[in-house]
Structure 1
């Protein structure tokens, strides 16, 4: 550290402030400054001085070039290790904690790890009276990708901020960072200081540093003269530095190589601009161009290969390893040695950039405008990805280290020496980062795809072999997730579909045998592969390839189980479970009086059980904002818990006179309702824990279940009295009369996500489906369970219900038909007591009296079946191609894909184009019919080739909420999307890039949008009940907040001649508008009795057609505004979309039927 510290006398002011802070009550100090301003030097000085004073508990200097030195978990683990060396009593505390929780070091919960490895061990030390200082440098280098939300930079910042009140007074944390918004905002309540680049102190410090650097050059080249370069030149250098020490340092490195005087003149030759970034950019360009081979094309080619490769490396390599990885025909060291102003070799010949600002400059098109020098990171990632895959295919083999197959990895003598001998550094790099490079590419090209296919066919198991020996199994799941996403986006051919199946098999293989593979590389072949289900593609491909592996003659499964993990941690029956709103965490409650938190991906337990109840925990719930958990118990109380820290909030909530049976949060997290065996419900303020009013009475027997409607306006309760009750969500007043339909005691009740339906389950072995508005019974779900229904839940899209029973099974039901989907899911050994869908609908978690929790894949592994001649799920959107030959439709439900149809034969041309992760909400063809754009509730858009069905671009992200509408410009060069985030985004149809800033004028989500045929205008409609007329080139509103309807405007369409547009509304009327003035023409057209969902003009602009919730279509004459004939009837449900074919001969409508 001392060698990296400040020069004596420099940064004196900020160092004095930091010293004063160490003696103040504040626990956290954040120093911010731009790149190159000297933050790390100050951090090294602070750490060095603290070490001299005996108060340095630990320090961590993050580094962008080293993947592990960007990992938030590594920061905490390293600081804990250093604290243990700092103080023996702290070491004992850490040892005791790890003895009781050995998995803590590998836990993915940053909060839990920081609390138990840093805060608690220091807090419980009695013999430390002075300050213990922790130093963390370069917070902005923390990894913010390739991790779960809780493990990213944001998760680390939240961890620090949330645990600050828990820090002992002796513990201080000093941190540095670039002034990035997420960091400064998250830590805004703590002590912050920013370095001022243009202050006199900075100027004086730069002068001192410049003199020191020039003196070193003077000592090296004595012929320069004793006074070189002179005080005026020093002054000029300081002015050009604009407050950046890295500028002076780069000049020093540039001058000390050769021709110092001539190079100094080059540096000073340009005019000073007074902008720090501009000056460092100019310096970098000058230094790069001052090369003897600058006119040689070979130099630029090699520069791109070497420097470009180093820019995108996820971990640095030596020159020798780098050369072997890329199979270079020349020595990269020659290029590295010629760029000593920017690159240097450290111990072990590892090549690194001297400062991160240089690769940032090279990769930025706006800053580095020299095409021969600028680095295209997308291209370089492609090069590295192919190099990694090629290297692995060349070297990987079974049992690469020639191990005894009977040994575990830890039993192998001299394993580290075997690894050094057989697994080179470049092969280690390739095995760890090949998929990271592919994920960093905009899209996967055909040559990369072919190498990926070879990898999964030939190299997959030997790859696992290497990562097992290296103890780098964490890379496996990340890599496979990357590949699944990239292959899904690559194309929609049969070949890619088979490769995708193989990748999914690989993920299941790793998940099922993860611990076995991690313990013994050879058991991949001797145990895992023989017990892989025989009918899987992975088993069929790989089992014949490997000799001498164990053959299982009887007892193996044919297919993968839908079970993801069985989580064991409770000592008694598990009776309640819940997902966190982001799906990353599960909380469970048990008869053992505790709650447990679990990682939803791995099934690993997070931290210690939550203790506070004095009797069995019966019910639990996460608040919708994810901040709190509430639990109810047989001890008649409720407890509130902090979901991040696991700490109890306040005192127990008391209001019931008997056991708590059920609880629920309101959607806005402000209220809690609880039900009890005392036949009453209680409404609570979720923040204060105070009861709202008196207990609610309406049932004549114990309350069994309670839930709020999605809008919070009501809640429903069920009871042993065989009835349901609906209640006002604000007042607690009962709504109407109790609902009757079951023949037995009702055990559960829940709303669908849109609040339109309620499902209830009873001990008569049935479920009932209810209309939430009228209270009418829609129907009974029969034939699935042979014992009482104990729990049920709707999928997020409302199309599926899952139910659990005392018969130990789960059943999936179709909410539309009421029929059972596939066979009951078997996995529990006893009564299923609780279950829930994950927020994305992909998983189901269930708890049982067998003391286990089961995670299920809600889509695969269950007999949900294939779509019958098409979508299979409800049609959400439809569009004609411009030549009337094709129709594209989008679906919701489990499929959430696109289908292409032949418009004449009505046969499916292409089934299920899948890339979206939620229902497809809108689609549109380009005017030439060559492209399709789709928007989804997953907030993304995809651009498809209409002929090949391949993904052209996607996922395209620009909105912060679900996509509601899309439209191509008439010339097909761009398209526009609208979203529930109240904005429109314009996109380039070739590159997929956004054009300009989002269009903003509406006050609520967009409902529909359409271009004028001449492409000059757009009209949008919104939930704010208005229309907006836009200029497409400028994005300016021509006329906003157009009002002629008295309710929500759901749809709009331009006439083909661009002179008019038409709108339809929830007020049951259609309005005709002048497209130039934005003025309504005539009176609203009346003919429907319910909401208007869709409108369009005929191709000759003479007619309008509208579709409605009244299940009819109406045709209108544009000139007279009169209805043409009677409404068209044929659908059995509301009409969602209608369109004319381009030739005007066909009219197509689709409905929720």
Structure 2
């Protein structure tokens, strides 16, 4: 904020900071009211060492994702506050894999709430303030709802007398979440604008006119008039000054007054005033242009407006140069000069700098514009064409396949030289610009470029995404593209009969199935993932002819991919799951001490969580008729539940001395068998809860799995540490003679810490592997390694069909 402005708001914030009855301040206002400027000024006033900030940005994949908020703030809090830093260091030392978890639902409690609670009371006066700006620019998703709930939890937490400031538009979802539990500071605009805001805009206008050295003697009431037109919107005043400074100041000032005068003073609809000013600026841009120039400028401006992320000058060149539009680099530079009032900043010498719009309200001005579809097509076509030109085998010039990406020294610097920023942008954003509503017949070129990309360049694109650590985004891109192709474009690839959507679907399965190996080492896209893809994989069928010096699966009995499963989210770590006998429901047990029943088809939770255990639920099972659920817990007890009502049946079964790891119903449902950390197996009467006989003893360590035989005459149990299976007489409790011991397998002969190849879990049965203890499989996997090239020789796996020399090797 300009010095001398917004002081009335800063005074309210300062007073709130000393209010012990409120710990969440919500500043709301219309688009362009100056909320982000206020948030930035608050950060400056507080000082970098006294606050931590997160500013949402709609055009940034990272800063629009609500899952990134708390971990980012935790990192910044750990830097500025020693107590929080100590807590986070200790927590992450104990839980080193925490940040690798892709689900961030625990971040608020673990990284923020507990971190603040760790601060000694004598240091509370030095606690930093959290500032979060532009909640309305956040992705609206299930994570966003969880994020808003966490804000409400902060406001309602009596122990947290620490301060958090958030800003946003006054949206209903935000109002519903935090309106009643926060201190609400609205910034009024339009007919409700207050005198202080009007005076602040007048200060701003006077300052800018002085900088421009505009002679205002012929405009005696101009400051008052323009502040009335602004109606509390700082963006209107800023935009007007930008427009005036981009031409002959006095002439453009007259244009603004004439334009707004024809509209009249509209204080009850400040957005109309802003739209009128946008229209005036656009008119001045296209005034005196030829039809050819007008068309070219419209295409460039449309790309800036409708792009899913901010473009740069170099990316504009990628999009338009060599297209039928005949737009040259010179035309782009000229157009950007004309657009300068609509841009946040412009430096024609920094060709990779993002070109941010002056304000998001400019996008609102163009809502439902018919130009959007054409602009998106131009962007998508340009990005696809550029990728098809630039993508090639071994994008990172990796010398060996033995090492993981993270162990390659200087990889980041190497990628900066090898992969241009426009190519990185294209790889990340091409799918977001696939047109949703477009006539196939009028976009033959787009279809041709999509055909080339999917059939010839997709694995090279996947290399870039692996090197950039963007595999989750790559899978999401394929899923998004599948939806667009199948539902809207219905593109049939020109050479092949395969539908583009099917290839995208196959690619997303390829990425999900091999994300660990591809994410670990990029060469193993070709050395491990492609050979291990099922025979019916469209990617394998399309690309394996170019990679002949890799593994070959001799007797792969799989045809297609494993069936996809739904992802169901419970409140904490899930230790146990089981299907109901009819397959319609799933039951899960969690570290949060609850049991949840799920609809297996929809993935929706059925009823509320079943509560009663006092510690983590480690095992669950359905009765054979599906009417009951049995659960075992670290609280040493077993419980039975009515699967329909969720009510506990009887009292907890008590008798084990340590955690219960495994439970099972007998086929007739009359008995339950359980295995425990106390090394024993127990049989229970399912109706009375009484133990049947003495504990079955024989294992030398924890019992992790138990099961009844179908005739109910025997029970089988297994122990992890003592590596034994034990068979018991269910009636007498006596051990059946003969233990089946699982021998250790020999180690695979290979150099340590060198990545040879990777086998997916579904293909590991029957394959000797380090740390396996047994091989029991009807169809063990056999591999032909005779043509397998790896290590420093890995790049020769790529054999181009049109290269006689390659086939001669």
Q: Same fold (TM over 0.5)?
A: yes
CA 1:501–1:285 in structure 2 vs 1: closer, same or farther (change >3 Å)?
A: closer
Partner residue of 1:661? 640
How many Å separate the matches in 2 of 1:575 and 1:543? Answer: 38
How far 1:140 moved relative to its partner? Answer: 0.2
CA 1:616–1:311 in structure 2 vs 1: closer, same or farther (change >3 Å)?
A: closer
For residues 1068-1079 of structure 1, the aligned pairs below 5 Å read: none
Contact preservation (8 Å) 1:308, 1:380: yes
Contact preservation (8 Å) 2:65, 2:138: yes
For residues 864-879 of structure 1, the aligned pairs below 5 Å read: none
Q: Deviations over 1:317-371 (max 9, x none)?
A: 321232124334233222111122111236753211111111221x235xxxxxx
How far 1:659 moved relative to its partner? Answer: 3.9
Contact preservation (8 Å) 2:25, 2:165: yes
How far 1:387 moved relative to its partner? Answer: 1.7
Q: Deviations over 1:77-101 (max 9, x none)?
A: 2211110111122112112222333
How many Å separate the matches in 2 of 1:61 and 1:571? Answer: 30
Q: Name the SS for the 1:258 alignment partner.
A: coil
Is 1:479–2:472 an aligned residue pair? Answer: no
Partner residue of 1:290? 284
Contact preservation (8 Å) 2:77, 2:85: yes
For residues 44-83 of structure 1, the aligned pairs below 5 Å read: 44-51=40-47, 55-56=50-51, 58-83=52-77
CA 1:235–1:632 in structure 2 vs 1: closer, same or farther (change >3 Å)?
A: farther
1:402 aligns with one of 380, 397, 404:
397
Partner residue of 1:1063? none
CA 1:282–1:99 in structure 2 vs 1: closer, same or farther (change >3 Å)?
A: same
How many Å separate the matches in 2 of 1:69 and 1:389? Answer: 25
1:181 aligns with one of 156, 172, 186:
172
Partner residue of 1:429? 425
How many Å separate the matches in 2 of 1:178 and 1:763? Answer: 63
CA 1:169–1:480 in structure 2 vs 1: closer, same or farther (change >3 Å)?
A: same
Contact preservation (8 Å) 2:594, 2:613: yes
Is 1:393–2:388 an aligned residue pair? Answer: yes
How far 1:141 moved relative to its partner? Answer: 0.3
How far 1:547 moved relative to its partner? Answer: 5.2
How far 1:263 moved relative to its partner? Answer: 0.7
Partner residue of 1:654? none
2:198 aligns with one of 197, 202, 206:
206
Partner residue of 2:295? 301
CA 1:234–1:485 in structure 2 vs 1: closer, same or farther (change >3 Å)?
A: same
2:10 aligns with one of 9, 15, 20:
15
How far 1:501 moved relative to its partner? Answer: 3.6
CA 1:558–1:618 in structure 2 vs 1: closer, same or farther (change >3 Å)?
A: closer
How many Å separate the matches in 2 of 1:551 and 1:828? Answer: 15
How many Å separate the matches in 1 of 2:229 and 2:372? Answer: 30
Uncovered stretches (5+) of structure 1, i.e. residues with no partner: 366-373, 604-609, 622-629, 639-657, 667-671, 680-699, 706-718, 722-746, 749-760, 766-825, 830-849, 851-1153
Partner residue of 1:329? 328
CA 1:492–1:314 in structure 2 vs 1: closer, same or farther (change >3 Å)?
A: closer
Uncovered stretches (5+) of structure 2, i.e. residues with no partner: 322-326, 604-610, 623-627, 654-667, 674-684, 688-705, 713-761, 766-772, 774-809
Partner residue of 1:364? 367
Contact preservation (8 Å) 2:576, 2:588: no
CA 1:534–1:267 in structure 2 vs 1: closer, same or farther (change >3 Å)?
A: same
Looking at secondary structure, tell me which structure has more helix per residue: 2
Is 1:536–2:537 an aligned residue pair? Answer: yes
Contact preservation (8 Å) 2:575, 2:588: no
Partner residue of 2:133? 137
Is 1:240–2:229 an aligned residue pair? Answer: yes
Contact preservation (8 Å) 1:217, 1:255: no
Partner residue of 1:512? 513
CA 1:611–1:322 in structure 2 vs 1: closer, same or farther (change >3 Å)?
A: farther
CA 1:612–1:120 in structure 2 vs 1: closer, same or farther (change >3 Å)?
A: farther
Q: Deviations over 1:418-467 (max 9, x none)?
A: 22222111111111111122275578776344433332211111111000
1:272 aligns with one of 259, 262, 265:
265
CA 1:110–1:559 in structure 2 vs 1: closer, same or farther (change >3 Å)?
A: closer
Contact preservation (8 Å) 1:72, 1:142: yes
CA 1:195–1:220 in structure 2 vs 1: closer, same or farther (change >3 Å)?
A: closer
How many Å separate the matches in 1 of 2:303 and 2:573? Answer: 53
1:157 aligns with one of 148, 160, 167:
148
Partner residue of 2:589? 588
How many Å separate the matches in 2 of 1:206 and 1:431? Answer: 46
Q: Name the SS for the 2:33 alignment partner.
A: coil
Is 1:383–2:386 an aligned residue pair? Answer: no
How many Å separate the matches in 2 of 1:59 and 1:397? Answer: 40
How many Å separate the matches in 2 of 1:161 and 1:33? Answer: 19
How far 1:524 moved relative to its partner? Answer: 0.5
Q: Name the SS for the 1:338 alignment partner.
A: helix
CA 1:229–1:68 in structure 2 vs 1: closer, same or farther (change >3 Å)?
A: farther
Q: Name the SS for the 2:533 alignment partner.
A: coil
How far 1:175 moved relative to its partner? Answer: 0.6
For residues 609-1008 of structure 1, the aligned pairs below 5 Å read: 613=614, 617-619=618-620, 633-634=631-632, 659-664=638-643, 666=645, 672-676=646-650, 702=670, 763=710
Contact preservation (8 Å) 2:482, 2:500: no
Q: Name the SS for the 2:329 alignment partner.
A: coil
How far 1:511 moved relative to its partner? Answer: 1.3
Q: Deviations over 1:595-625 (max 9, x none)?
A: 8999x99x9xxxxxx996369655499xxxx
Partner residue of 1:930? none
Q: Name the SS for the 1:30 alignment partner.
A: strand
Report the RMSD for the aligned CA atoms in angstroms: 4.4
How far 1:565 moved relative to its partner? Answer: 10
CA 1:34–1:84 in structure 2 vs 1: closer, same or farther (change >3 Å)?
A: same
How far 1:762 moved relative to its partner? Answer: 11
How many Å separate the matches in 2 of 1:298 and 1:259? Answer: 25
How many Å separate the matches in 2 of 1:537 and 1:662? Answer: 46
- With the length of structure 2 as denominator, give the TM-score of the two structures: 0.69
Aligned length: 633
Q: Name the SS for the 1:81 alignment partner.
A: helix
Q: Name the SS for the 1:675 alignment partner.
A: strand
Contact preservation (8 Å) 2:575, 2:619: no
How many Å separate the matches in 2 of 1:182 and 1:402? Answer: 49
Runs of at least 4 residues of structure 1 off by over 6 A?
Answer: 442-445, 492-496, 569-573, 592-598, 635-638, 826-829
How many Å separate the matches in 2 of 1:764 and 1:47? Answer: 72
For residues 252-271 of structure 1, the aligned pairs below 5 Å read: 252-269=241-258, 270=261, 271=264
Q: Name the SS for the 1:420 alignment partner.
A: helix
Q: Name the SS for the 1:355 alignment partner.
A: coil
CA 1:563–1:323 in structure 2 vs 1: closer, same or farther (change >3 Å)?
A: closer
Q: Deviations over 1:507-546 (max 9, x none)?
A: 2211111011112111101111122223433212111023
Is 1:123–2:95 an aligned residue pair? Answer: no
How far 1:304 moved relative to its partner? Answer: 2.1
Contact preservation (8 Å) 1:36, 1:357: yes
Q: Name the SS for the 2:477 alignment partner.
A: helix
CA 1:411–1:174 in structure 2 vs 1: closer, same or farther (change >3 Å)?
A: same
- With the length of structure 1 as denominator, give the TM-score of the two structures: 0.50
How far 1:555 moved relative to its partner? Answer: 5.5
Contact preservation (8 Å) 2:587, 2:595: no
How many Å separate the matches in 2 of 1:563 and 1:467? Answer: 23
Looking at secondary structure, tell me which structure has more strand per residue: 1
How many Å separate the matches in 2 of 1:504 and 1:138? Answer: 35
CA 1:326–1:143 in structure 2 vs 1: closer, same or farther (change >3 Å)?
A: farther
